[in-house]
């Protein structure tokens, strides 16, 4: 039992100090989406979403801009946020691992859905959020695979 506890403590420590590099062209500081008011709400983790809560963090990005790898990553697979066909224009993303983290980026058209990408290389392009959510602050949605709060990495 002690070995398991020690291993978990080491694993958690590996993630301490991890910071996401620039995600979106035009946003070198990874500025977060604030509140867009009704009907879109806020982009912080835990924000109200009707009967649920926002399980990610939104980083500002402009429709059509390049999305970069925040550090060296291995793309595991395509990942989609919606089942609603009305949101098909932005229903794309990828799941990846890097820096001992597993996370997803939504609302991007990825250049590939598997393989390795180095920090700062292009992962994809932000999809047309304004087509689905007119007036929202366009953004990349960052969601941890375990649905924990990604804010500490920004």
Task: Assign 50 a pLDDT band (cuts: 50, 70, 90).
Answer: confident
Q: Provide the whole-model pTM.
A: 0.89
Q: Is the pLDDT of residue 143 over 70?
A: yes
* Percent of the residues in the chain that have a pLDDT greater than 90, as a whole number: 85
Torsion of CA 68, 73, 74, 78, to 10 degrees: -40
Site of tokens 């604030």: 34
What is the rounded CA–CA span in Å between residue 60 and residue 132?
16
Q: Please report the pLDDT score of residue 14 as a whole number.
A: 57
pLDDT bracket for residue 21 (50, 70, 90): very high
Q: Which domains does the chain possess? A: 19-153 (2.70.70.10)
Is the four-CA dihedral 104, 53, 50, 139 of positive or negative sign?
negative
């Amino acid at each position: 039992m002690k070995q398991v506890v020690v291993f978990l403590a080491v694993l958690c420590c590996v993630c301490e100090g991890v910071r996401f590099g620039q995600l979106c062209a035009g946003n070198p500081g990874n500025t977060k989406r604030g509140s867009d008011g009704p009907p879109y709400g806020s982009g912080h983790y835990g924000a109200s979403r009707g009967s649920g809560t926002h399980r990610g963090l939104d980083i500002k990005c402009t429709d059509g801009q390049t999305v970069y790898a925040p550090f060296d990553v291995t793309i595991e697979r395509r990942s989609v946020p919606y089942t609603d066909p009305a949101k098909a224009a932005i229903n794309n993303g990828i799941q990846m691992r890097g820096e001992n983290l597993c996370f997803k980026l939504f609302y991007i058209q990825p250049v590939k859905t598997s393989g390795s990408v180095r920090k700062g290389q292009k992962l994809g392009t932000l999809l047309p959020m304004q087509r689905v959510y007119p007036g929202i602050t366009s953004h990349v949605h960052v969601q941890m695979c375990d649905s924990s709060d990604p804010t500490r990495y920004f």
